[in-house]
Amino acid sequence: MIRTEAEAWRTYESMREVVFDTETTGLDPFQGDRLVEIGCIELINRFPTGRTFHSYFNPERDMPEQAFKIHGLSAQFLLDKPRFAARVEELVGFLGDAQLVAHNAMFDLSFLNAELERAGYTPLGRDRIVDTLLLARRKHPGSPNRLDDLCARYAIDNSRRTKHGALLDAELLAEVYIELIGARQAQLILSQTAAPIRVTGEPIVLRERPAPLPPRISDEERAAHRRFVASLGENAIWRDYVSLD
C-alpha cells in the first residue's frame, strides 16, 4: 500500500520505461558524427501514457549524403534547431531513472552518451538498457528482425514510415516491444459464456462464478491509485478507465 508521496514516486519510477530512437550524421560518435534527432515515448506498466520528448538538434557540421538518404534531415533544415546542450536538462529530466528501450540499443546509447559527456552530464549505464533487437533474435532466431520486419510480423501499421524518423520509430518500437514481451493484455478477450476448451484431449469447461469475490482493495488504496493516475498528465490512457472525481 502506498503511504507517502516518496513511496508513490518510487513506485511510479519502478513501473516506468522510456522507448527511444535517434537519428545521426553517421555511424561513429568517436569519429565526429553527431546526434541530430531523438524521440522518446513514456510507458507506465507497459502502457503508453501519451507523454513524449522529441527534438531535432543542430549538429554543428555537415550532413553526409548517405545519412541524409536515411532520415531526410539536411544541414539546412537543422541549422536553426537547438544545440544538444540547450535541451539536455529537459531530456535528462524526461528520462529520469526509467529503464530505456531501444532497437540495436548500443548504437543509440553510444551517440546519446557522447552528447551527454560533451554537455558535461554523466553518461547512462548499460544496465538501464533493454535492446529489442536482442529480444527479437531470441524470440525469432534466423528471421529478419529489423523494425520494419517486426512491424510486419505483428501487424503494426508502419505505412507512415517512408524515411527514418526518431519519434515515429519510437512509437512503432513501443508497440513492437509490447508484443515481444507478451504484454498485449488489452487485446485479450475473455469468454462470457461457458465453453469447452480441449487441452491434450480433455475438455475444460469455463463457468461463471455464481457470486463475485469480495473486493480486496481498500478505499485508501483506491484513493492512492486515483492520485497516481492524476499525476500522469492529461493524455494518460489510464484516465479513460479511472474516475478521478
Q: Which residues are annotated as catalytic? A: 164
CA 51 to chain centre: 10
Residues 34 and 72: their CA atoms lie apart, in Å, by: 15
Strand, helix or coil at 117? helix
Q: Which amino acid is at 80?
A: D
Beta carbons of 40 and 173 less than 8 angstroms apart: no
Torsion of CA 2, 179, 241, 97, to 10 degrees: 30
Task: Round to whole Å and give the CA distance between 179 and 17.
Answer: 15
DSSP 159-227: TT-SS--HHHHHHHHHHHHHHHTT--GGG----SS--EEEETTEEEE----SSPPPP-S-HHHHHHHHH
94: three-class secondary structure by DSSP: helix
Placement of cell 501499421 in the chain: 157
DSSP label at residue 235:
T
Q: Which three cell numbers stand for residue 12?
A: 511510479
Q: Let me know: does 132 contact 180? Beta carbons within 8 Å.
A: yes
